[in-house]
Amino acid sequence: MIIDMPNTRTRDISHKIDELHEERGEAAIGRVLTLLIETDAEELEDALEVANAASREHPCRVIAVVPDHNPDLKACEDDSNLNAQVRFGADAGAGEIIILYPRNGLIEHPDTLVMPLLVADTPIVAWWPTNPPANPAQDPLGAMAGSRITDAMRSNNPEATVERLRRHWSPEDVDLSWTRVTVWRAMLASLLDQPPHLPITEVKVSGPADFLPSELLLAWLRLKLGVPVKYEVVEDAEAVTGVYFTREDGVVSLERPHEDHAVISFPGQTPQPISVPIRTLEDCLSEELRRIDLDQVYADVINTGWDLTHA
Amino acid sequence: MNDSITWTNPLRDPQDLRLPRIAGPCSLVIFGVTGDLAQKKLLPAVYDLANRGLLPPSFGLTGFARRDWSNEQFIEFVKKAVQEHCRTPFRESTWRNLAEGIRFVQGTFDDPAAFERLSETVQELDRDRGTRGNHAFYMSVPPRAFPTVSKQLSASGLSRSSEGAWRRVIIEKPFGHDLESAKELDRVVSEVFDPSSVFRIDHYIGKETVQNLLALRFANSMYEPIWNANYVDHVQITMAEDIGIGGRAGYYDGIGAARDVIQNHLLQLMALTAMEEPVSFSAADLTAEKTKVLSAVRLPKDLSAHTARGQYAAGWQGSHEVAGYLDEKGIDPSSTTETYAAIRLDVDTRRWAGVPFYLRTGKRLGKRVTEIAVVFKRAPHLPFESTAVRELGNNSIVIRVQPDEGVTMRFGAKVPGGSAFEVRDVSMDFSYGRSFTESSPEAYERLILDVLLGDPPLFPTTEEVNLSWKILDPIEQYWATLGQPQPYRSGTWGPAEADEMLANDGRHWRMP
């Protein structure tokens, strides 16, 4: 169910939601968090689809703020600065979606705009699907969130974005590129669990050029193993394609030349295939919503590890 | 040189909460792989684990059964079971990798040659797949087969692990049918396997349930102050099933509801509800507290007044007509096996002095439900007209174990408006499913993964099992002197005897 609410007020949106809950015999108390999404009209539908999927695991209220910089003046009433849309039921995953289109001066005050619509007494997570603010912790929406999710890889200028995010980094910030390598990290850790536990002398990672997940993976390995690391660019690759640990007995590797199919090799053993699907954005967002506490390992990687590999 | 003591994996960090734990190279051997449990739960759980990337690439799965199947036929069987019952989407690539490691061994439990073949198959997995001598044996078989299988595993050398490798055995309840048989079973199994390699599984109380209960009791400050005899009137622990014995006649007759359910599930739930705060949530510390409280359990003096048993008679289960227990296929028409059992237990500790724990379980009851209800004393003084609180019951906290795991609180609230002031019971409800996740892992996924990772499970140790039998044995002995259990109509909440049992104490059963 999609309800358009042009020229409206937050109070009316609140009423509308209560009314819909009552009609459907639901309660908002089952929502475990409020997910704030700040994005533009172009990215909105994709972001909502991802949020919908994630809400199946984490029933949440999604509030998307989409500033309307060029309002259609004919359709605007003078005393209103807000258009909105409310989605329920089949159109809203396991929760409800509120889309807010502020205009004029209201654009500058998104925090007080969403305040009356937050789920009471539950964590707030802010997510910027593409271009994050320069300083998420100081952003009006970011400041009210206990967890801030950025995705520098999908911003217009990933390199510059990463630099900005690193400069203003605060413990509640996490970038989805880090989440993208969780499966790789888990597999690599379990590779090293296998005896013989010989020291690693060198590490190589291969993947696409200027690929943030690879860089984070490399920084993590450099930080944890304390040995030289290098990166090999693979043309046309879509994600990390391989990690190679050099030891005195040979090379231990995890390779994923093509989507989904990975191969593990130990010196002197037959390589073993294993299925490692490329992570979707839904997977990543779900993982972030699962653990909204601080990630010390990411903090170390983004601060210390990054400097080691970018010296 | 033993590097496992000094070596720590540099990529593992206790602060790294994201990393899922993936099992190392290993294989799982399932005895009784053609059974219902294996088809509906175990095999799909193995696939789901593989699909979630939690199994090693070298994982091996060996089925052992009587059927005359080829490897290919068995793989087809597994595929069908997985496709019908898996929780995560069926992906051809995951399946292909898993299928590579699937083997079948045909044989019976009393055939040493079959175990020779099993031993060869497992060695072949070590060689071809690189399972490195790590093997878990899942006994999805009737308890009477445990000793035979254990001995065969021992004779064929399968139970012994080489250095640096492990062998583990998974046993499902019931663990014996009385104290003596439980000790005997333990003796047989521990002759073959080291106690730390024996995983006793009780899937009804999965790790999740135990941890939920621990979190509710010990992570919050509002329950602990009232969790004692000062405020609690009594506790009711119920596990009701709506099904009959189905195809389990051979197993069930002569065992009965108390041995099947009270001895393990209900006494475990009771121990978790009544125990003191453990010093940590490690398996050993939890066991210490559970053991303490189980050893403080006192049986009622008059067993005739404080226990009840029944047997379901024909009737209508909801909308279906069903047969009585004595008419079920494979049941002796003069069987005195109970399908309903209720007992009162007291806990001789300061915390629980004078607070009875009522445990009940049965088949063909009103609906399927497992719950722990902590029922509180009424307020010492009610400053209302007596008519105002006529409808007010006792406050209670109900911990729902299944289905729809969660917590309900019952308390009185004023009926709005009206000419007279009236207080009536209302419920406040929390549900894990609604608040957290719609797609949480099946209990068996977690169980199997814990075994493969070697995580000590939160399940009963030998000592707890023995203590539970000590509680139940006198009751069973008393019941053995009685004749036919009281019949109750299918679809009701049990025999009249059970209602009288609580009425004698001035209480009544909750309707779950």
pLDDT in tens, B79-120: 999 999 998 889 888 899 899 999 999 999 999 999 999 999
| B418 Cβ neighbours under 8 A, 6+ residues apart | none
Using an 8 Å CB-CB cutoff, list chain A residues near B94: 275
Q: Assess contact for B486 and B309: CB atoms under 8 A.
A: yes
Stretch B210-218: mean pLDDT: 90
Residue in chain B closest to A288 (alpha carbons) equals B18
Question: In this structure, is the dihedral angle defined by the CA atoms of residues B216, B220, B226 and B227, taken in order, positive or negative?
Answer: positive
pLDDT, tens only, B424-476: 899 998 887 766 655 567 788 888 998 999 877 667 888 899 999 999 999 99
CA A205 to chain CA centroid, Å, is 23
Choose among B446, B436, B475, B455: nearest CA to B266. B475
Angle at A199 between CA A198 and CA A204, to 5 degrees: 115
What residues in B contact A190, CB-CB < 8 Å? 21-22, 24, 56
Probe site for chain A from B1, B2, B8, B19 (most A CB atoms < 10 A): B19
Query: Per-residue pLDDT averaged across B236-246, rounded?
Result: 92
Picking from B7, B93, B438, the nearest residue to A260 by CB comes out as: B93
Quote the percentage of chain B above a pLDDT of 70. Answer: 96
Write the burial class of residue B408 (CB in 10 Å: 0-12 exposed, 13-18 middle, 19+ buried).
middle
Stated as kind and residue range, the H or E segment containing A128 is: none
Chain A residues at the B interface, defined by Cβ less than 8 Å, are 30, 32, 56-59, 94, 179, 182-183, 185-190, 192-197, 221, 224-226, 260-261, 264, 266, 269-270, 272-277, 287, 291, 293, 295-297
B211 has pLDDT over 90? no
Chain A residues near residue B129 by CB distance under 8 angstroms: 272
Is B367 annotated as contributing to ligand binding?
A: no
In this complex, the residue of B17, B128, B437 whose CB is nearest that of residue A57 is B437
The answer on whether B241 is annotated among ligand-binding residues is yes
CB B66 within 8 A of CB B472: no
pLDDT at A106 over 70: yes
Q: Which of B4, B19, B91 sits opposite A186 (nearest CB)?
A: B19
Per-residue model confidence (pLDDT) at position A28 = 63
List the B27-31 sheet strands across, edge first: B102-106, B60-65, B27-31, B135-139, B167-172, B198-201
Written as six digits, the tokens of B226 are 């009232």
- A224/B22 touch (CB, cutoff 8 Å), yes or no: no
A56 contacts B439? CB cut-off 8 A: yes
CA distance B493 to B59: 46
CA dihedral A224, B13, A206, A198 (to 10 degrees): 70
pLDDT at B437 (0 to 100): 59
Which stretches within chain A are classed as H helix?
A: 10-24, 41-55, 110-114, 140-144, 158-167, 176-180, 182-193, 212-225, 281-290, 296-300, 306-309
User: Does residue B5 have a pLDDT over 70?
Assistant: no
* CB contact set of B500 (below 8 Å; sequence gap of 6+): B308
> What is the 3-state secondary structure of B215-226?
HHHHCCCCCHHH
Chain A residues whose CB is inside 8 A of the B128 CB are 270
pLDDT score at A22: 85
Q: Which residues contact A15 (CB under 8 A, 6 or more apart)?
A: none
For the residues of B265-328, what is the DSSP string, one character each?
A: IIHHHHHHHHPPPPSSSSHHHHHHHHHHHHHTEE--S-HHHHEEEEEEESEEETTEEE--GGGS
The gap from C-alpha B28 to its chain's centroid, in whole angstroms, comes to 21
For residue B447, the model assigns a pLDDT of: 87
Q: Reduced to 3 states, what is the DSSP secondary structure of residue B169?
A: strand
SS3 label, residue B193: coil
**Across the interface, which of A30, A94, A272 has its CB nearest the CB of B58?**
A272
Cβ B97–A94 below 8 Å, yes or no? no
> What integer pLDDT is reported at residue B2 of this predicted model?
47
Provide the CA A224 distance to its chain's centre, in angstroms.
Answer: 24
In chain B, residues with a C-beta closer than 8 Å to the C-beta of A297 are 13, 15-16, 18
Asked if A273's CB is within 8 angstroms of B97's CB, the reply is: yes
pLDDT value of position B281 = 86
Q: In angstroms, what CA-CA distances link A200 with A196, A229, A247, A251? A: 11, 11, 5, 9
What distance in Å separates the CA atoms of residue A265 and residue B415, rounded to the nearest whole number?
A: 70
Which segment of A102-106, A243-247, A273-277 scores lowest on mean pLDDT? A273-277
3-class state of residue B113 by DSSP? helix
Mean pLDDT in residue range A114-138? 94
- Cβ within 8 Å, pair A192-B10: yes
Q: What CA–CA distance (Å, rounded) separates B178 from B176?
A: 6
Provide DSSP, A219-273.
Answer: HHHHHHH-S-EEEEE-TT--S--EEEEEETTEEEEEE-SSSEEEEEE-TTS--EE
Over the range A9-24, which residues count as b (16 or more CB within 10 Å of their CB) and which as e? Answer: ebeebeebbeebeeee
* Mean pLDDT for chain B overall: 90
Query: Is the Cβ–Cβ distance between A82 and A102 less than 8 Å?
Result: yes
With b for 16 or more beta-carbon neighbours within 10 A and e for fewer, the B151-161 pattern comes to bbbbebebbeb
Average pLDDT of the segment spanning B190-211: 81
Separation in Å, CA of B3 to nearest CA in chain A: 7
pLDDT band at B385; cut points 50, 70, 90 = confident
pLDDT digits (tens, 9 = 90+) for B160-174: 888 888 999 998 877
Inter-chain residue contact A295 with B11, CB threshold 8 Å: no
ipTM: 0.84
Which residues of chain A have a CB within 8 Å of the CB of B53? Answer: 183, 186-187, 274-276
Residues of B in contact with A293 (CB under 8 A): 17
Domains of chain B from N-terminus onward: 20-172 (3.40.50.720), 206-437+462-504 (3.30.360.10)
Find the residue in A nearest to B95 (Cα).
A275
Give residue A80's pLDDT band: very low, low, confident or very high (50, 70, 90): confident
pLDDT at A82 over 90: yes
CA B384/CA A67 separation, integer angstroms: 57
CB contact under 8 A, A269 and B164: no
CB–CB contact B18 A276 (8 Å): no
Q: How far apart are CA B495 and CA B487, in angstroms?
A: 6
Contact B24 A190 (CB under 8 A): yes
CA distances from B347 to B297, B298, B354 (A): 4, 6, 8
Lowest mean pLDDT among A300-304, B194-198, B327-331, B472-476: B194-198
Amino acid A27: pLDDT: 67
The answer to whether B453 and B20 are in contact (CB under 8 A) is no
Q: Return the CA Rg of chain B.
A: 25
B265 is catalytic: yes
CB crowding A27-38: b at 16 or more within 10 Å, else e? eebbbbbbbbbb
B464, burial (CB in 10 Å: exposed 0-12, middle 13-18, buried 19+): buried
Q: How far apart are the first and last CA of chain B?
A: 59
From the list B22, B93, B437, the residue facing A58 with the nearest CB is: B437
3-state secondary structure of A141: helix
Nearest-CB residue to A194 (from B12, B25, B51): B25
Confidence band, pLDDT 50/70/90 cuts, at residue B61: very high
Residue B33 in contact with residue B85, Cβ under 8 Å? Answer: no
